[in-house]
Each structure stands twice: as structure tokens, then as C-alpha cells.
Amino acid sequence: MKFSTLAVHAGQRPDVLTGAVCVPVTLTSTFAMDGIGKLRGEFEYARSDNPSRHALETSIAAIEYGKHALAFASGQAASTAVLDLLQPDDEIVATPNIYGGTYRLFHKVYNKYNIKINVAKDTTPDAIKKALTEKTVLVWGESPSNPLLDLLDIAKTAEHVHNFRNKNGVAPLLVIDNTFPSPAFQNPLLLGADIVTHSCTKYIGGHSDVIAGAVVVNDDAIYEKLKFYQNAAGAVPEPFSCFLLQRGIRTLPLRMKKHEENAYRVAEFLRGNSAVEAAFFPGFTDFPRHDLVKKQMSGLPGMISFKIHGGIDDVKKFFAGLKLIILAESLGGPETLICHPATMTHAALPENERAKIGITDNLIRLSVGIEDADDLVDDLREALIYRSR
């Protein structure tokens, strides 16, 4: 079946017991047994598995074209599950531009297990290949990346990674954080990645009202390890969160199309405005590796970054001039959100690291929502005028 059909129906068939068209929110922590060792149904204890989460995991696996999905209490909990595949002294290769919280997890949590992070020189398969060492067990990438929207050739990177052998004689696993494009616009497993992670808080949930995450894989053995960890560590989403996510998934294809349409319009406006020093949007034909948009994606999410002329005070004044667009962390909701990566999403990076990857004080990130694009452009135009007053 095609994507939109899967988004509506996968894991969302009418309830067998009642005929309810929407998956019921099963609020129970535990399930009755008929005797020792005899489960009455499929479920035993809600942390291990429950009907609401099971349905959600079926949906997410289907829309990401993967065999197995596991849902977590946040995107960070999903990333942590993947990192649990590592042993002390293992190493990770990462692309330079990754989510600040992932950077923090690598550097401030996993460093105590002596897990080293080698950051590739840039976001190209060759730079990643050069960064691989005999201890590399995971390769971690984001495309488009957060916040500068760097594109990574996933198929080519998978080829390099899978041709490499570490000291255990095995190829490292390629992990792609697919939060930005969402499954509607990019499916890394189909491009050769081994593991896909999501912050479902963003486009999958899509309404700025739930925190959750997911991991999707094809390999049965990796799935079993992650499933064991999910139950053992217990960072699972509540049934009501699962319901909200499934409700979001049903309209994901529609929402993404509107985000994309608005993003093109807003990006063109920003690029043409004299107060804007630079605009970063993979849809620009002169954007670095723009060809990858056609090669590995079926559309672009509503993410744009831009630099305005001036420094932090100009950014503050510009933000103060916005009437519609909301200053807030996060992305992927119906409302347009704006943020300042240097002090918000990427504050976990030391200043010199931020500078190295282009996160300057005048960099602004925009998550373009699904409002009318005319109103968004008007708001931005007025605030840019206000800033220069």
C-alpha cells in the first residue's frame, strides 16, 4: 500500500472486541492471568507491552518501511536505547551538525563508559569514511541536520560503512535520526541505514502536545536487544501519548505537504530580504548537495535557518517584533516556531564547537507551520523592519 494509506490504516484497524474505529486508549498497568504462566491475552504488564503502544509501533514500522518499531518516552530515550548497543571503549562516528541533546548525551553521559565520539570533518560520505576507526561500532547521522540542514548522502554512506570492518570483524551500524524529514519525506532503511531514530515529539506527533520517540530496525537480533532494553530500562510512552501519536500519523502526509509548500515560500522571502545575511534551505538549487533532495527525499520539511545582519541584540529586537510566530524550542507543530540555536537547542555545545559548525549568535531557526504563508511572510517582514528601527 502507498504511504497515505499506511498512515491511516497501519496499526489502526477497528478494534476486534468492540469495533471501535479508533484504537482505544487502554489504561491499565497490568493484565489478568488465567493461571501461573498462562496469559489470558497477548499482554502481561504494561511496561513490557500494551495494546496502545503495540498499535503505535505497528504504525511507525509501517510508515518507515521497517520490520520492527519500538516506542519510547522521548526522542532522547529512543537515542539512549540505541546507544545501549555499545560496550565500554567502543566508538561512535558522528556528522558535525547534530541535535544538541544528542551531542550532550554522547559527551556528558556516555563519556563515563569511555565511549569516544569522532566527529567527521564535514557531512560527506568520504569524511565519514575517514573518521572510521577499528573501534567504531555506530555511525550517527542526521539529514537534513539540525540546525543548518546539511544533507548527507545516506545510500553512499551506508555503502562505505558496510564495507568497513572494525576490530570485531563486523561493519559498524549506520543510525539515521530521521526526525526532520519524517517518514513522509525520507525512509533511511530503504536507503541502506540499519537503525532509524525519531523524536516523535516533532512531525510525527505534529501538534506540539506530546513528548515521545521511536526506533525502527529491520534486523531481528538488533530488535531483540532494543526490545529487551526498552522493557529493562522502562522509558516507555503512556497509552494516551500513543493515541495522540497515532492520531498525528493519520494526517502526517497532508501536514508535511503544507509545511513544505509554506517553507518554499518563506525561504524565498527570507533570501530576498536585505536584512537577511544568509538563508539555509535545501530546496534552493544552489544549496550544497541539493541533488540529494531529489535523490533520497520525496519532499522537504518546514525547516529553515537564517542569519540576520548584526548580533545577539538585533536577534532579540527581531524576536520582539514578531506578533504571530512564537519563540519556542521544538519544531514540527501546526504553529510556526522560531528559536535561537546558540542559546536554546544547541546551548549544550561549548562556544568553540558551535563556532566550528556555523552556529553563530545571529543564526535563527524557523519551523514553518501550516498557517497561511502570507501571514507568516507579513510577520517576518514587519519584525525585520522593527529590528532596524
The strand pair at 195-199 and 136-142 is best described as unpaired
Does the annotation mark 65 as catalytic? no
| Maximum pairwise Cα distance, the chain | 76
CB of 211 to ligand PLP, least distance (A): 5
Mapped onto helix, strand or coil, the DSSP state of residue 69 is strand
Catalytic-role residue among 15, 47, 250, 381: 47
Does the annotation mark 99 as catalytic? yes
With beta carbons less than 8 A apart as the criterion, state whether 191 and 155 touch.
yes
Does the annotation mark 108 as catalytic? no
What b-and-e string marks burial along 179-212, b requiring 16 or more CB atoms within 10 Å of the CB? bbbbbbbbbbbebbbbbbbbbbbbbbbbebebbb
Which listed residue (99, 203, 306, 318) binds ligand PLP by CB under 6 A?
99
Catalytic-role residue among 53, 90, 99, 365: 99
Find, among 10, 80, 31, the residue nearest to 236 by Cα.
80
Binding marks (x or -) toward ligand PLP, 174..193, rule CB under 6 A? Answer: ---x-xx-------------
Q: Which is nearer to ligand PLP, 177 or 361 (CB)?
A: 177
Which listed residue (136, 146, 186, 305) binds ligand PLP by CB under 6 A?
146
Q: Does the footprint of ligand PLP cover residue 211 (CB under 6 A)?
A: yes
With beta carbons less than 8 A apart as the criterion, state whether 53 and 239 touch.
yes
With beta carbons less than 8 A apart as the criterion, state whether 3 and 187 touch.
no
* CA–CA distance, 377 with 358 (Å, rounded to integer): 25
Q: Does the footprint of ligand PLP cover residue 346 (CB under 6 A)?
A: no
Length of the chain as a residue count = 389
Residue with the shortest CB distance to ligand PLP: 75
The span of 63-71, 130-138, 194-202, 318-326 binding ligand PLP (CB under 6 A) equals 194-202
Q: Does the footprint of ligand PLP cover residue 246 (CB under 6 A)?
A: no
Which listed residue (123, 186, 201, 262) binds ligand PLP by CB under 6 A?
201
- The footprint of ligand PLP on this chain (CB under 6 A) covers a number of residues equal to 16
Q: Does the footprint of ligand PLP cover residue 76 (CB under 6 A)?
A: yes
Residue 224 neighbours by CB under 8 Å, 6+ apart = none
Catalytic-role residue among 90, 177, 194, 379: 177
Which listed residue (199, 305, 336, 367) binds ligand PLP by CB under 6 A?
199
With beta carbons less than 8 A apart as the criterion, state whether 139 and 175 touch.
yes
In the complex, the residues that contact ligand PLP under the rule CB under 6 A are: 74-76, 99, 101-102, 142, 146, 177, 179-180, 199, 201-202, 211, 213
**Residues carrying an active site annotation:** 47, 99, 177, 202
